[in-house]
Amino acid sequence: MRKIVTKPSQGTPSRQRLTDHIRPGVHILFVGINPGLRSAATGHHFAGHSNRFWKLLYESRLVSEPLTHQDDWRLPDWGLGLTNIIQRPSAGVGTLKPQEYTAGEKRLVATVKRYRPHAVALLGVTIYRTLFPEYRSGRISLGLQAKTLAGRPVFALPNPSGRNAHYSYQTMLAAFRALRNVSDKSIQGMTKGTITGGRPSQP
């Protein structure tokens, strides 16, 4: 039976908070920067008309069927989790304050420690630079990083927002496919008794 998603309460979108979608045993935890105003208004993650997140998930085969923002609560069915480093919605990242990033980092670390995902996938190099200040300048390559977060592997992905003009869609898709390939290799390691990660199981 399909889960009934209740309509978010009416109010000022900038004050609404979205629910994290994470279950114990999560394989990959996706971390966004913060919700946009349309996400706050709909009550679902990555609801922007030009956001490519859901298309990228399907075309990279991290999920087995096409999803939309209304299906965000279903991600744990594939071993995927979803959260944001900052919970306050905004029209853009330019209004976010340094203290919000600091508080968000503490919350994220606590979340990672609690759920122990096999990989933490950061949706945007801005998040990586925030979490690891020594990389606030210079180029950051997409993919698996040398750094870890609360002892868990970190994977850098492009921000899938339609406003992100730094990466083409094909580059974004290649990064998501690389994440899936890392998950495949991790599952092979698990069958040999090495717990290093894992591709989300198909529901």
Tokens of 156: 């850098």
Residue 124 located in a structural domain? yes
Owning domain of residue 123: 14-191
Residue 203 located in a structural domain? no
Residue 1 located in a structural domain? no
The pTM of the full predicted model, rounded to 2 decimals, is 0.83
**Of the candidates 143, 82, 144, the residue with the CA atom closest to the CA atom of residue 115:** 82
Count of CB atoms situated within 10 Å of the CB of 65: 11
Amino acid identity of 21?
A: H
Quick one: pLDDT at residue 32?
A: 94
Residue 173 sits in a domain whose CATH number is 3.40.470.10
Give a three-class secondary structure readout of the chain: CCCCCCCCCCCCHHHCCCCCECCCCCCEEEEECCCCHHHHHHCCCCCCCCCCHHHHHHHCCCCCCCCCHHHHHHHHHHCEEEEECCCCCCCCHHHCCHHHHHHHHHHHHHHHHHHCCCEEEEECHHHHHHHCHHHCCCCCCCEEEEEEECCEEEEEECCCCCCCCCCCHHHHHHHHHHHHHHHHHHHHHHHCCCCCCCCCCCC
Quick one: pLDDT at residue 186?
A: 64
Residue 162 located in a structural domain? yes
**Number of domains within the chain:** 1
Q: How many CA atoms lie within 13 Å of 163's alpha carbon, on the beta-carbon side?
A: 8
Residue 84 located in a structural domain? yes
User: Rounded to an integer, what is the distance from CA 90 to the centroid of its chain?
Assistant: 17
Consecutive 10-residue averages of pLDDT for the chain (203 residues): 40 64 96 90 92 96 96 96 92 84 93 95 92 87 94 94 83 95 66 41 37
